[in-house]
Structure 1
Amino acid sequence: MQTDSEVLPQRSGGLDICALIEQHEGRNYELHAEHINPANVRTLQTIGFDRCYVRGEGPYLWDIEGTKYLDFLSGYGVFGLGRNHPDVRRVLIDFLNTDYPSLVKMEAPMLSGLLAQELKKRMPNQLDMVFFGNSGADGVETAIKYAKCATGKPGIIYCEKAFHGLTSGALSLNGDENFRSGFAPFMPDCRAIPFNDLEALEAELLKGDVAGFIVEPVQGKGVNIPSPGYLYEAAALCHKHGALFIDDEVQTGMGRAGRFLAIEHEGEIDPDIVILSKALSGGYIPISAVLCKKWIHDKVFSSMQRSVVHSSTFSQGNFAMAAGLAALDVIDRYDLIAKAEKLGDFLGHALQAMIPRFEFLHEVRWRGLMMGIEFGPPHSLGLKTAWKLIHTMDKSLFPQAAIIPLLDKHHIITQIAGHHIDVIKLLPPLVISEDDVQWFLGAFEDVLIQMHRFPGPAWDVLTDIGRMALTHRAR
């Protein structure tokens, strides 16, 4: 029998969603522990990230207690335009009010054609055809199928430390064993090579069975940036050996890297397939886009009988298409690509200037507003002891000394850039201001000062977390 708290509140016309939110406000972690993912709840509670957010606007979030946060994670890059951008919201409200049909399926939707047209204008080369899906991983699955069908070859080459999604095919191209563990066997003929290594790429291409090489122009795990010319030469090698060059711009695209595509930092370049997602809808609805050359498309959809050989139920949904068109308009009208480059350089150079002052701070890497801050071993004896102690406990633990106080004391949300690496990652929305950058710089400087005091509160927190991790592994 349902209790009063389990009955969905009603208003004239049905469910009262505002009343439902108010009725259960603050129960986030209780509900997730019971119904969604208790392991993740324990993780968030352990590092103090178990906040209940109730409002989002631009680069800011507010929790249930009214505390304002600066979001330098932006939903892993989904909120490139910030949260609840008013211009995108206005377009979506206008669209909903038209009662326009969607997903008729036995038709050719107009809005998807218009969004495809706009995306093609922004490509660095001639990419003629567009497929719309629902997520970055969905886009990667599409690219895998296209590459195999177009070339008639089975092999897909990817890079060590790569992240292309967590669906079964995309997981076969994942360079992190922490994500792969327990899900084998993987798709055959998928082989990893070191990032930034043209010789290793050519050695695989010479085997003659490679359909495509998929690469992130900036690796998300670690924020690893390629050497100048690497991507250009990699594309040339692929074309020389009859393989497709697949540019995964799921996180780096839509202006984040200070160009519409991060690969444009290489100058004139010729990808065969480009994958977009995350920020494409302004954060309002899942969407992805795969752009490819016409000859590839013609191999896949080679006849009327094969005209729907690759499809997806929610592909080309008009709500998503309207959001995509609005997001592109916002990027253009507010000149957000140039802003990402300018503020990224301002933030990156300011962080680099801190390196001589702080032993733990080793390197800062960035493209636009995608940034990695890497820590490394100190030289003084006391800090060396602290470094060794924490890494003995857990190789992924040390960056928590930065992200926990950034959240707890300074109300800034960041993330660790991957497993077993000492890098924190910044993905702020493209709509941040110089004041927001200064907020982060002041907070990060304070955090670094505390990290360099050993023993001290920062180390006490890490030691407690490390002990919990060791206890859990011993069970």
Structure 2
Amino acid sequence: MTTEFDLGALLAERGAERYELHGRYLNHQLPRMLHTIGFDRVYDRGEGAYFWDADRNDYLDMLAGFGVMGLGRHHPVVRKALHDVLDAQLADLTRFDCQPLPGLLAEKLLAHSPHLDRVFFGNSGTEAVETALKFARYATGRPRVLYCDHAFHGLTTGSLSVNGESGFRDGFAPLLPDTPVPLGDLDALAAELAVGDVAALIVEPIQGKGVHEAPPGYLRAAQELLHRHKALLVVDEVQTGLGRTGDFYAYQHEDGVEPDLVCVAKALSGGYVPVGATLGKDWIFKKVYSSMDRVLVHSASFGSNAQAMAAGLAVLAVMENEQIVANARLTGDLLQSRLAALRDKYELLADVRGRGLMIGIEFGRPRSLKLRSRWTMLQAARKGLFAQMVVVPLLQRHRILTQVSGDHLEVIKLIPPLIIGEAEVDRFVDAFTAVMDEAHSGGGLMWDFGKTLVKQAVANR
């Protein structure tokens, strides 16, 4: 007897209940938050760098699912690879054989970091970080891991231990032995290493929270310092890797940097299937998997599954054939230069920074008295409200999806699909200019919305 399941019919019948279902059965604060800021839209379809609502209005995606959609939505090559692997009916996940796809994907990934030798495949960025933490501690025999202030490496207990934002950590202690150090501060790093119990430093070459890049020369100097003290350099490329910053990995912008462990995820599967990977040196893997008795000492039930591996192989093929990394570099330079040119025009625009298609737009205290009083009101209620005031009209009036770069930050982060071009740059810059014009006029709907945010912020204290 064949069991029938009609997904299309189910969505047609129940799809309109999406916000009610989420509020009842999942995180009830998400629909509440989306409704408050006017983001409670209903998107019917997505393709490339755009999605559409029921009225066929198009929306430009400058968020890429927090960086997951590196190739945009539903890239035909990745989609075909997934159809092909399902049609192949492989004997997947027997757990007592060696399938070809994981080895092939590992080979392709390692070709982009030839100083590394082996790969562990998990299911997410936080799992990739957890793997790196475990491997570093075991390989060195030391318990403590250093991380940078304002870092974000995931939200499971191990990765939370190296999360630099207190709002994520509060209430979840005790965590792993850890110590924060300022990004770029070699003296602070040396002082911690001198204690003799440090297994590794984990660092994002460009921090996702606020889009802050490691200072020139820092990664190489930190690597030399770590190795002198027999500790490891772990680089988190979950968001910055796979072309995001205009090189395959962000650490490759600095000569001589060869991390001991590298974490990747997000864009590796083209947004279709959860996948994460931890790349490392041969001696580290051989120490962890030191005997046949330890063959499963670190594993993942769905790790190396055929769908994820096929998607990863397709993504890397597309990146090479369509010159995705070069496009991210060229389009990112164009977008950043266009935005930087606006700094002299708008006193609320404090900085534009980043690499490739990872760009931070920071707002700051204006000079004029009228704007300064409004800015002070927002800051007194909650830092980050002005950035939210920019994000909202970008969506509501210009149909462009962006995000505030972190809690209490006056920074918008742009991490669009790496396939965007000059047309998308024009659309974003035109929309951003219109929003800035309104903000600097000192009145209008934008500041009215700011008052709503202030009331909401005060009510939540």
TM-score (norm: length of structure 2):
0.98
Q: Aligned residue for 1:149?
A: 138
Asked whether the equivalents of residues 384 and 411 of structure 2 are also in contact (C-alpha less than 8 Å), the reply is: no
In structure 2, distance between residues paired with 1:98 and 1:312: 23
Instruction: Give the aligned residue type for 1:132.
Output: F
Q: Aligned residue for 1:332?
A: 320
In structure 1, distance between residues paired with 2:86 and 2:145: 41
Q: Aligned residue for 2:202?
A: 214
- Does residue 16 (structure 1) correspond to residue 29 (structure 2)? The answer is no
Question: Shift of residue 456 of structure 1?
Answer: 2.4
Give the fraction of aligned pairs with identical amino acids, expressed as a percent. Answer: 49
Deviation digits for residues 398-422 of structure 1, max 9, x if unmatched? Answer: 1011100000000000000011111
In structure 2, distance between residues paired with 1:21 and 1:224: 41
User: In structure 1, the residue corresponding to 2:212 is in which secondary structure?
Assistant: coil
Deviation digits for residues 296-338 of structure 1, max 9, x if unmatched? Answer: 1111000010111000100110110000000000000000000
Instruction: Name the stretch that deviates more: 288-297 or 95-104.
Output: 95-104
Which stretches of structure 1, 4 residues or longer, exceed 6 Å deviation after superposition?
Answer: none
Deviation digits for residues 448-475 of structure 1, max 9, x if unmatched? Answer: 00111213211110111210221232xx
Instruction: Give the aligned residue type for 1:257.
Output: T
283, 287, 291: which one aligns with 1:303: 291
Q: Aligned residue for 1:5?
A: none
Mapping of residues 284-363 of structure 1, within 5 Å? 284-363=272-351
In structure 2, distance between residues paired with 1:118 and 1:162: 28
Q: Aligned residue for 2:54?
A: 64
- Does residue 113 (structure 1) correspond to residue 114 (structure 2)? The answer is no
- Does residue 171 (structure 1) correspond to residue 152 (structure 2)? The answer is no
Gaps of 5+ in 2: none
User: In structure 1, the residue corresponding to 2:408 is in which secondary structure?
Assistant: coil
Question: Shift of residue 393 of structure 1?
Answer: 1.1
- Does residue 245 (structure 1) correspond to residue 229 (structure 2)? The answer is no
Question: Shift of residue 434 of structure 1?
Answer: 0.8
User: In structure 1, the residue corresponding to 2:199 is in which secondary structure?
Assistant: strand
Mapping of residues 292-441 of structure 1, within 5 Å? 292-441=280-429
Q: Aligned residue for 1:49?
A: 39
Asked whether the equivalents of residues 129 and 292 of structure 1 are also in contact (C-alpha less than 8 Å), the reply is: yes
Instruction: Give the aligned residue type for 2:63.
Output: L
Mapping of residues 269-288 of structure 1, within 5 Å? 269-288=257-276
In structure 2, distance between residues paired with 1:184 and 1:441: 43
Question: Shift of residue 268 of structure 1?
Answer: 2.7
In structure 1, distance between residues paired with 2:81 and 2:18: 30
Q: Aligned residue for 2:69?
A: 79
Asked whether the equivalents of residues 58 and 399 of structure 2 are also in contact (C-alpha less than 8 Å), the reply is: yes
In structure 1, distance between residues paired with 2:28 and 2:129: 29
- Does residue 139 (structure 1) correspond to residue 128 (structure 2)? The answer is yes
Question: Shift of residue 258 of structure 1?
Answer: 0.4
Question: Shift of residue 173 of structure 1?
Answer: 0.6
Question: Shift of residue 13 of structure 1?
Answer: 4.8
In structure 1, distance between residues paired with 2:206 and 2:435: 27
In structure 2, distance between residues paired with 1:333 and 1:13: 41
Deviation digits for residues 193-252 of structure 1, max 9, x if unmatched? Answer: 111111111111111110000000100000001111111111111111110000100000
Question: Shift of residue 341 of structure 1?
Answer: 0.3
Instruction: Name the stretch that deviates more: 267-276 or 127-136.
Output: 267-276
In structure 1, distance between residues paired with 2:383 and 2:54: 33
Instruction: Name the stretch that deviates more: 64-73 or 20-29.
Output: 20-29
- Does residue 256 (structure 1) correspond to residue 244 (structure 2)? The answer is yes
Asked whether the equivalents of residues 26 and 64 of structure 1 are also in contact (C-alpha less than 8 Å), the reply is: no
Deviation digits for residues 326-371 of structure 1, max 9, x if unmatched? Answer: 0000000000000000000000011000000000001111111001
